[in-house]
Amino acid sequence: MLNPCDPAFVAALADVVPEGVLSAPEPRHLEEPRGRWTGQAGVLARPRTTAEVAALVRACAGARVGVVPVSGGTGLVGGQTLTLGPAPLLLSLERMVALRGIWPEENAMVVEAGMVLADVQAHAASVGRLFPLSLASEGSCRIGGNLASNAGGTAVLRYGNARDLCLGLEAVLPDGTVFNGLTRLRKDNAGYDLRHLLIGSEGTLGVITAASLKLFPLPAARVVALLAVPSPGAALDLLALCGERVAGLVSGFELISRTGFDFLAETGFDLRAPFDPVPDWLVLLELELPAGLEPEAVMAGLYEAGAGAGLVTDGVIATSEAQAAQLWALRETIPLANRRVGAVSSHDISLPLSAIPGFIAKAPGVIAGLGEFRVNCFGHLGDGNLHWNVFPARGHAKGEHEGVRDAVKTAVHDLVHSLGGSVAAEHGVGRLKVADLARYGDPGKLAAMRAIKAALDPAGIMNPGAVLG
């Protein structure tokens, strides 16, 4: 049983950390982007050093007070908000933003966990390198949260998830011990890899305080195209064609349905697809090219091959960085339009690539008897991650369907599970999907996870209620 972070405990903490670390939480620390939960906290701690983080966690462990780590606050599964139970200490690393070192000759850098993702990218670019993790929220999300949730983004197809971009970690474990694992080694088989245990653990096994990250050479050129395709199946065939003709050069392959563009127009965004009428399905394709290749010629060759195979019916190729940015803006603004429309139920899922066309065809049928809905399907087709979101019919509000929200989610997730997919693809489990993990998770895996949690955090202070409940 946990104890609350009450005034007496806060007073004791004031003797543990320097003045200015503790304060009352602001609304931004307690809210999540969709407004579904508002968290609670006895105090907000904003440490400046790893030693201060360790002192705070050690004190909480001794008093059996819960610790909820908060990063950029952009997560969509409630991992950063505790609404029930004893008030926790809210731990923000927003002051830990230092660049500890950068080694372009090694393609490596070490940054503190509070650094905003866009700043990580900028530091890499300043020495002629690329840090490829890219998300719509990169101007506000923080690298510690990206690693804690194993964020994916738009470039997973080429560079992998956050897990694949991390060489080492520094973290504070649940008893206040500091794990000093900031290696820059590419090979190190000296025992268990605690880095991969902490990445994706959503703050339930410790607090990431710094990370050693992989960098890559900047591409000599990039080219972006928006291509009309006859169907999701054709989009997959186009992806295979790209693999044959430009293997290893595809950095983005996004599937977008016409509904996304309908929502942009409906919600007042001044963004329009460069097609009239807008096709039912489009692919946003990005290539990153080495020196010696003409980007527009390479993309034109792909377009011609795709058209010749009946996989592409129309297309626009960006001829400047400004045009490329405009095409990406279409894709990245769709989630904002979704929020304005208001989803009945949102589904961040992944599927085996070959199962995606069948899922897209079958899924509307499994919710048809629950109400009249619109579906906006889009996502990172290259890595199998779809955002299959259900909305009320035009002229209706999501509140009219509150009574069937859970039934919609269950019907969709049951279909995903039956096809060998995951119901927690990119945003993690948090508190939103605890029941889903229990429903669909492998019993052996869940037993191992509980054993690990009990071994590292026997008092259950780290992000209580998240992931395993």
pLDDT tens digits along 327-358: 999 999 999 999 999 999 999 999 999 999 99
Confidence at 75, pLDDT banded by 50, 70, 90 = confident
b/e code 297-335 from CB counts within 10 Å (16+ = b): ebbeebbebbeeeebbeebbbbeeeeebebbbebbbbbb
Per-residue pLDDT, 199: 98
pLDDT of 71 higher than 90: yes
pLDDT at 327: 96
Distance (Å, rounded) from C-alpha 320 to C-alpha 223? 8
Q: Which two tokens stand for residue 361?
A: 């065809």
Residues 2-52 have pLDDT tens digits of: 999 999 999 999 999 999 999 999 988 998 887 788 899 999 999 999 999
- Among 59-68, 69-78, 155-164, the range scoring the smallest mean pLDDT is 69-78
Nearest to 79 by CA among 24, 133, 148: 148
Spell out the alpha helix ranges (H) of 133-286.
Answer: 143-148, 156-159, 194-198, 232-245, 258-266
Does the pLDDT value for residue 141 go beyond 90?
Answer: yes
pLDDT in the model for residue 359: 98
In sequence order, which residues have a C-beta less than 8 Å from that of residue 66 and are 6 or more positions away? 2, 5, 60, 82, 85, 86, 88, 89, 460, 461, 462, 463, 464
Phi, psi of 53 (to 5 degrees): -60, -45
Distance from C-alpha of 55 to C-alpha of 262, rounded to nearest angstrom: 52
> Does 463 score more than 90 pLDDT?
yes
pLDDT-derived band at 93, boundaries 50, 70, 90: very high
Tokens 């907000």 appear where?
A: 44
The SS3 assignment for 130 reads strand
Cα 437 to Cα 445: distance, rounded to the nearest angstrom: 10
What residue spans of 32-178 are helical by DSSP H?
A: 50-63, 117-126, 143-148, 156-159
Cβ contacts of 100 within 8 Å, gap of 6 or more: 110, 111, 112, 182, 210
CA-closest candidate to residue 92, choices 209, 195, 173? 209
Q: Give the pTM.
A: 0.94
Across 31-35, 286-290, 416-420, least confident range: 31-35
φ, ψ for residue 345 (rounded to 5)? Answer: -155, 130
pLDDT at 284: 97
CA distances from 217 to 130, 155, 191, 206 (A): 6, 15, 31, 32
Cα(427)–Cα(244) distance, integer angstroms: 31
Q: What is the per-residue pLDDT for 426?
A: 85
CA distance 257 to 377: 6
Is the backbone of residue 43 left (phi > 0), alpha (psi -120 to 50) or beta? beta
In 3-state terms, what secondary structure has residue 304? helix
* CA–CA gap between residue 54 and residue 52 (Å, rounded): 5
Rounded CA gap, 359 and 412, in Å? 9
Quickly tell me which residue has 């049983």 as its tokens. 1
Do residues 410 and 438 touch, judged by C-beta distance below 8 A?
A: no
- The mean of the pLDDT values for the chain is 95
Question: How confident is the model over 389-409, as a mean pLDDT?
Answer: 94
Is residue 381 scored above 90 in pLDDT? yes
Instruction: Provide the residue count of the chain.
Output: 469
What percent of the chain stands above pLDDT 70? Answer: 100
Contact 216, 279 (CB under 8 A): no
pLDDT tens, residue by residue, 97-138: 999 999 999 999 999 999 999 999 999 999 999 999 998 889
pLDDT of residue 34: 79
Residues 83-104 have a mean pLDDT of: 97
